[in-house]
Amino acid sequence: MNIKDLQKKQAAEAAIEYIKSDMVVGLGTGSTVSYFLDALAKSDRRIVGVTTSKVTSEHCAALKIPIIDIDEVDHIDVTIDGADEVDTYLNGIKGGGAALLMEKIVAKNSKENIWIVDSSKVHDTLGSFPLPVEVIPYGSGQLLRQFTDKGLFPKLRRSQIDNQPVITDAGHYIIDCHMTTINNPYALADYFESQVGVVEHGLFLNICDRVIIGGETIQIQE
Ligand code: 5RP
C-alpha cells in the first residue's frame, strides 16, 4: 500500500472514535470513505447511515451497514467524508468523485462534519485541485463560455471510458475549473451561487468541524 492510501486508511480508522452506537451517520463518497466503511463494518458500532451516492449505498449494502433515506431522519449526528483539498481554515474542495451535491446536502444537515484525508490534500490556499461545479446539462455550453470569460479555465468532465460527459447521480454535468489558486473562495462561491444553471459548487466553506490527516486530528477552534 502506498503512503497516501496508508494515511487514508489511518484517518478512516481514527474516525471510528467519533462514532457511537445508535447515531445517524452521514456517509460520504470516495476511496477514503471506503476505508471508513470497512472499519465501521468491523467495529462494534451499530449505526444507521445516510449515504451521499449510489456507490456508497452499494458499498453499505455489501457490508450490511443499514442505511436510511435523508428525509426519514430528523437529524444526522455526524458525517464522515473525504475531501480533495483542505486549507488551514478547514475550508475545502470536494466533488472529485462527482458526489458534491448530495455530499453538501448531507453535510449541511449534520450536527458535526469530520473529514478524513491524507496529508497531500492539505494546502495553505485552495485551488490546486480543479474546482468541480455541478450544472444542468441544458445551457452548460453557455456556462462554459461564461466561466472562460471569467478566467476560471473550465473543462467539462468526460468519462475516461467513452469520452461522454460524466453524469452525476442527480442527472447533471460537472464542469471542473482549473484555476491553480483561489484567493477569495467566498467571493467565488457567491459568483457560482448567482449563476442560473449552476446546481452546486465544490467549495465547502465553514462546513468542516474537524479534519483527520492520517492519524492526526485538527479541530476548528470555537
Ligand atoms: C467525492 C468527494 C470525495 O470526498 C473526494 O473526491 C475525495 O476522494 P478520495 O477519498 O477518493 O481521495 O468529494 O465527490
Packing angle of the helix pair 54-63, 31-42 (nearest 10 deg):
20
Say which amino acid occupies 23: M
Mean pLDDT along residues 24-37:
98
- Determine the pLDDT at residue 82: 98
Mean pLDDT along residues 34-39:
98
- Determine the pLDDT at residue 75: 96
Question: Any binding-site annotation on 197?
Answer: no
What is the residue-averaged pLDDT of the chain? 96
Instruction: Order the strands of the 85-86 sheet from edge to edge.
Output: 85-86, 92-93, 203-204
Mean pLDDT along residues 170-182:
97
- Expressed in angstroms and rounded, the spacing between residue 205 Cα and the centre of ligand 1 is 16
Compute the CA torsion angle 49, 52, 54, 60 (nearest 10 deg). Answer: -20
In the predicted structure, residue 110 carries a pLDDT above the cut 90: yes
In the predicted structure, residue 159 carries a pLDDT above the cut 90: yes
Whether 24 is in the pocket of ligand 1, judged by its Cβ within 6 Å, is no
- Determine the pLDDT at residue 218: 72
Q: What distance in Å separates the CA atoms of residue 154 and residue 147, rounded to the nearest whole number?
A: 6
Say which amino acid occupies 159: S
- Using CA positions, which residue lies closest to atom 6 of ligand 1? 96
Active-site residue numbers?
103
Q: What distance in Å separates the CA atoms of residue 112 and residue 53, rounded to the nearest whole number?
A: 19
pLDDT in tens, 178-206: 999 999 999 999 999 999 999 999 999 99
- Determine the pLDDT at residue 217: 72
Q: Considering only CA atoms, which of 53, 55, 51 is closest in space to residue 66?
A: 51
Which has more pLDDT, 221 or 48?
Answer: 48
- Determine the pLDDT at residue 221: 56
Whether 26 is in the pocket of ligand 1, judged by its Cβ within 6 Å, is no
pLDDT in tens, 116-153: 999 999 999 999 999 999 999 999 999 999 999 999 99
The single residue listed with the C-alpha cell 477569495 is 184
Q: What distance in Å separates the CA atoms of residue 90 and residue 211, rounded to the nearest whole number?
A: 7
In the predicted structure, residue 155 carries a pLDDT above the cut 90: yes
- Determine the pLDDT at residue 73: 98
pLDDT in tens, 46-92: 999 999 999 999 999 999 999 999 999 999 999 999 999 999 999 99
The dihedrals phi and psi of 77, each to the nearest 5 degrees, come to -70, -50
CA distances to 6, 18, 117, 210 from 214, rounded to whole Å, are 8, 15, 6, 13
pTM, whole model, 2 decimals? 0.96
Tell me how far the alpha carbon of residue 101 is from its chain's centroid: 8
3-state secondary structure of 34: helix
- Expressed in angstroms and rounded, the spacing between residue 85 Cα and the centre of ligand 1 is 9
Helix locations, the chain, DSSP H: 3-15, 31-42, 54-63, 100-108, 140-149, 185-193
The single residue listed with the C-alpha cell 467524508 is 81
In the predicted structure, residue 222 carries a pLDDT above the cut 60: no
Name the band, by pLDDT with cuts 50, 70 and 90, for residue 220: low
